[in-house]
Structure 1
Amino acid sequence: MSFTRRTFLIGAGTGVSVLVLAACTGPEPTIPTLTPTPQPSDGVPAPVKLWRSNWAADPLAQGAVSFLPVGSNLEDRTALRSPLHNRVFFAGEATSDAPGTVRGAIESGARAAREVIDVVAAKERVGIVGAGAAGAEAARVLTALGIDVIVFEARDRSGGRIDSRVDEDGKFFELGAWELAVEGDSLLIADVDTVPLDGTIAVSVSSGLATGDVADLVAVQKDVSARLAAWANEQSTSDTGIASSLKDSGASAAAGVVGDIPADDMPPLYAEAARLAAGSEPEDISTWFPPTAIGAASVIPTGKLSSIVSTKLDGVTLALSTAVVAVAYDDNAVSLRLGTGESRRVDRAIITVPLGVLKAGAVEFDPPLPLPTRSAIDSVGFGQVEVVRVAFDTAFWTTDAAMWSLVGTDAEITTWVNLQPLTGETTLLGIAAGDAAASLSDVDDAALTQMVRRMLAPFAG
């Protein structure tokens, strides 16, 4: 099964669940607004508006989503959430059984809260570091039981990597959790307006356009994941990356094709879905422990997703613009040192900062974290996913496919969501992942605009 270098117009990312999004702190990603006079470039005008995330460059996010790379294992995630002296507890999507999802972040916050409830004494105060999905849920659970809670958040807003924005027309969109899984995130979907990411897929092949259904693609990707896992479990060799395993296992061919898309084109479609789910290159993603989000039907939030977090924080003491830079703990209490140099004493603490922040050593622990925890922080991967949203005065594209993908090319942004058939907006949502996403951090707005126009040229009429 060979990987072809063809241009695909949709389908690669449809099996990815929520891309990230537990609590984190720090300054917000930049959101430049462009007002150029649109000029044609290979049939692609300049966008009239552009918004972008920059999680890789955010010092208090340092990435977007955790994943298990080759050589790691599930025990690493267990070590990440192990409490310290029953004083310091850990939450966040990297500690959950559904990593890379809003649901996973929320469930981790509830789990950490239950751990605190088991040991907390009367009149004790609990400090929570981070007002994202994990921190907000932990605060909600504890506050509901009458436990004294204070949440420290370095940003001037709650939500963390759930970053809800509103355009000039009053429409909400996300620069963080751009996608939600239909099944796993059903409770979230019930509380926020969404549109299903479905419709027809169109794939560019040598003979023209091959077509199929998005739902069929999701089903095939789910089947490929199952076959790939079964094949990996039968191997006597060590773990390998998904890209190599796809070639060696024949899982894509056995799972079948979508519509009239050629069989040889299915492996790169699956590899791209894995890249979006993990924020990493497919060769680095463990075949033994692939992202669970692949093969999940999804929706795009069109309502204010961050309201889920702010609602959980109603009635909770919240200290915004207050960074925690050090955590000192013993058998009696926890001391949280703030960026201002002040310290706050609490009886227990829940740390929900992103894995990337822990990897960078941005939060100091005294005494140092135990060796298993430090090893887990080093072993679990933290991938890069960036969102670029571009609006146009009129549609220049000729396909009505809801999702486009550039696979096997040098494009930095490989997946595009066409919002026109979903919401009626002449707006495209670009998702970059892995090495390409990391490379966008140093690209200024003018250069990014030209890159966008170049990458969208295959879709122009």
Structure 2
Amino acid sequence: MSPNRRSVLIGAAILATTSAAGFGRRSANASTPGTGSVLVIGAGIAGLTAARDLARDGRRVTVLEARDRMGGRLWTDRNWQDMPLDLGASWIHGIDGNPVTELRDEFKLPTVVLNQNVITTYSGGDHLTAAEMAEHEADAAAALAAIQVLSALPRFSNTSFAAAIDLVLTQLRLTGIRADRVRNTVHHFIQDSFGADPEQVPLWVGQHHVSHGGDQVVFPRGYDEIPTRLAEGLDVRLGHVVDRIAHDTTGVRVHTDHGVFHADHVVVTLPLGVLKTDAVTFDPPLPAKKQEAIGRLGMGVYNKLYLRFDTQFWDDAELIAQFGVPNDPMAAWFPLQSVTGVPVIAALRGGSVARRIETLDDTATVAEGMLALRAMYGESAPEPRDYRITRWSSDPYARGSYSYPGIDSTPDDRGIVAEPIGNRVFFAGEATHATESSTVHGALLSGRREADLIRRIG
């Protein structure tokens, strides 16, 4: 299991996170066929990376994006003028050898280290003592190591993390509060990593992931500077909703609410959550093998609650872990004042916890967050002056946050989803990367992969 997946990976952390309306042009006129032409569906990182590489190769590239902004699941909210808020992706997960780091350096963008190494932990309203923390760290390390051993055994490949933690707790003879804390830690670890619950994720994933070392960093000016710079010079059509993709030996035809676009090839970067719906149809239908792989993979949910206050009342820490929260195995709070200079704290939730919270309205969501904070810091904790909330599973152009391997999935499924059809239809996006899915860098690498494949086809 990687120690730097997602924004925190609580289990591992205990052991050691533009509106682009000015770019491209809106047009009601569909394109005409042309030699070497490529349509790219989606102006997220995968799509923009593929489009940029293909345009540099001399192809005529048009990017079709349903939203009125670029970035996809990378989305910076700029309503707070003194603090851009990344509502989707936030971190470069390990800067060493990471392709997103290459873009950061190419575009000369500032980043700030936010590693989650300095951790404060509460159980109910009390700090865990140094002795309790040391004990829990040792217990969690032993449990995660035991799970990793199980994940390498073929007979446990499709065993769920939920079943595995029960097994290793018995092996380690951990009971009572110590077992509960380890179980909750591993549950949060999975919810954070995959946007899914431990019952939904198989152990084999522990043997099929490549991670990057080095610091975890965030973008104080907003992550959306990456897609904004990637899109420079590209023909990006915002507000173009695709509903049908047809192809034959003569080329591809992409049907949108602004007309039909023709090209030699199309790169589809629709999120897995959208591929699972009938929002976009394929003619001919996707091969049965591909549809089955899409069905076996899952689309996780990972949401954020930003709370802004006039003054800081929480710990000076990079991460605040909280046991004993109702309806939540363990809460993770991220103080952001060291990054932004603004007293803002963020709660990040995944899996069924995120899905349940997403059903609440804003008032109830904020109230639930404040109930958790006041359990740690007392009833005198003030009401926030402002807030921001994400609801990614309700987004029709995402249907979730990032993909995860379903309990019946195999390590081959992502490669099957990525397989091109007839050298006409190509697939990119984080869900198509075999070893670095659910990350920005995985999406970026998938875009490069498909652009290179089209170049090699000729």
User: Is the shorter-chain TM-score for this pair beyond 0.5, marking a shared fold?
Assistant: yes
Secondary structure of 1:406's counterpart equals strand
1:222-237 equivalence runs, <5 A = 227-234=146-153, 236=155
Change (3 A) 1:374 1:15: farther
Secondary structure of 1:288's counterpart equals helix
Look up the equivalent residue of 1:358 and give its one-letter code.
L
> Which position in structure 2 is the counterpart of 1:147?
59
Q: 1:15·1:293 contact (CA, 8 Å) conserved in 2? A: no
> Which position in structure 1 is the counterpart of 2:45?
133
Change (3 A) 1:452 1:312: same
> Which position in structure 2 is the counterpart of 1:339?
257
Secondary structure of 1:439's counterpart equals helix
Supply the distance in 1 between the matched residues of 2:210 and 2:193 (Cα, whole angstroms).
6
> Which position in structure 2 is the counterpart of 1:241?
160
Change (3 A) 1:407 1:394: same
Look up the equivalent residue of 2:234 and give its one-letter code.
V
C-alpha displacement at 1:168, in angstroms? Answer: 3.3
Supply the distance in 2 between the matched residues of 1:224 and 1:295 (Cα, whole angstroms).
23
Change (3 A) 1:293 1:234: closer
Q: 2:302·2:349 contact (CA, 8 Å) conserved in 1? A: yes
Supply the distance in 2 between the matched residues of 1:358 and 1:337 (Cα, whole angstroms).
16
Structural RMSD (CA): 3.8
Q: 1:384·1:438 contact (CA, 8 Å) conserved in 2? A: yes
Task: For structure 1, list consecutive stretches of 5 or more residues without a partner in the other structure.
Answer: 1-9, 20-24, 26-120
> Which position in structure 1 is the counterpart of 2:101?
186
1:212-227 equivalence runs, <5 A = 227=146
TM-score by length of 2: 0.65
Change (3 A) 1:301 1:458: farther
Change (3 A) 1:350 1:221: farther
1:8-157 equivalence runs, <5 A = 12=10, 15=13, 123-157=35-69
1:382 aligns with 2:380: no
Aligned with residue 115 of structure 2, among 197, 201, 204: 197
Look up the equivalent residue of 1:445 and give its one-letter code.
D
Look up the equivalent residue of 1:302 and give its one-letter code.
P
Q: 2:83·2:342 contact (CA, 8 Å) conserved in 1? A: no
Q: 2:161·2:198 contact (CA, 8 Å) conserved in 1? A: yes
Q: 1:15·1:295 contact (CA, 8 Å) conserved in 2? A: no
TM-score by length of 1: 0.65
Supply the distance in 2 between the matched residues of 1:282 and 1:435 (Cα, whole angstroms).
10
C-alpha displacement at 1:14, in angstroms? Answer: 6.5
Aligned with residue 277 of structure 1, among 181, 184, 193: 193
Secondary structure of 1:197's counterpart equals coil
Supply the distance in 1 between the matched residues of 2:269 and 2:9 (Cα, whole angstroms).
33
> Which position in structure 2 is the counterpart of 1:305?
223
Supply the distance in 2 between the matched residues of 1:232 and 1:371 (Cα, whole angstroms).
29
Secondary structure of 2:203's counterpart equals coil
1:370 aligns with 2:287: yes
C-alpha displacement at 1:169, in angstroms? Answer: 3.9
C-alpha displacement at 1:176, in angstroms? Answer: 0.1
Change (3 A) 1:237 1:316: closer
Change (3 A) 1:237 1:226: closer
1:328 aligns with 2:246: yes
Change (3 A) 1:11 1:460: farther
Secondary structure of 1:436's counterpart equals helix
Supply the distance in 1 between the matched residues of 2:34 and 2:218 (Cα, whole angstroms).
43
Per-residue CA deviations over 1:76-134 (Å, capped at 9, x if unaligned) read xxxxxxxxxxxxxxxxxxxxxxxxxxxxxxxxxxxxxxxxxxxxx99221000000000
> Which position in structure 1 is the counterpart of 2:401?
none
C-alpha displacement at 1:401, in angstroms? Answer: 2.5
C-alpha displacement at 1:233, in angstroms? Answer: 2.9
C-alpha displacement at 1:145, in angstroms? Answer: 0.9
Q: 2:275·2:294 contact (CA, 8 Å) conserved in 1? A: yes
> Which position in structure 2 is the counterpart of 1:65?
none
Higher mean Cα deviation, 321-330 or 307-316? Answer: 307-316
Look up the equivalent residue of 1:210 and give its one-letter code.
T
Per-residue CA deviations over 1:158-195 (Å, capped at 9, x if unaligned) read 11110012253432220000232124453355434223
Higher relative contact order (CA 8 A, sep 6+): 1
Change (3 A) 1:422 1:318: closer
Look up the equivalent residue of 2:322 and give its one-letter code.
L
Supply the distance in 2 between the matched residues of 1:148 and 1:295 (Cα, whole angstroms).
34
C-alpha displacement at 1:230, in angstroms? Answer: 2.5
Supply the distance in 1 between the matched residues of 2:324 and 2:232 (Cα, whole angstroms).
47
Secondary structure of 1:437's counterpart equals helix
Q: 1:15·1:273 contact (CA, 8 Å) conserved in 2? A: no
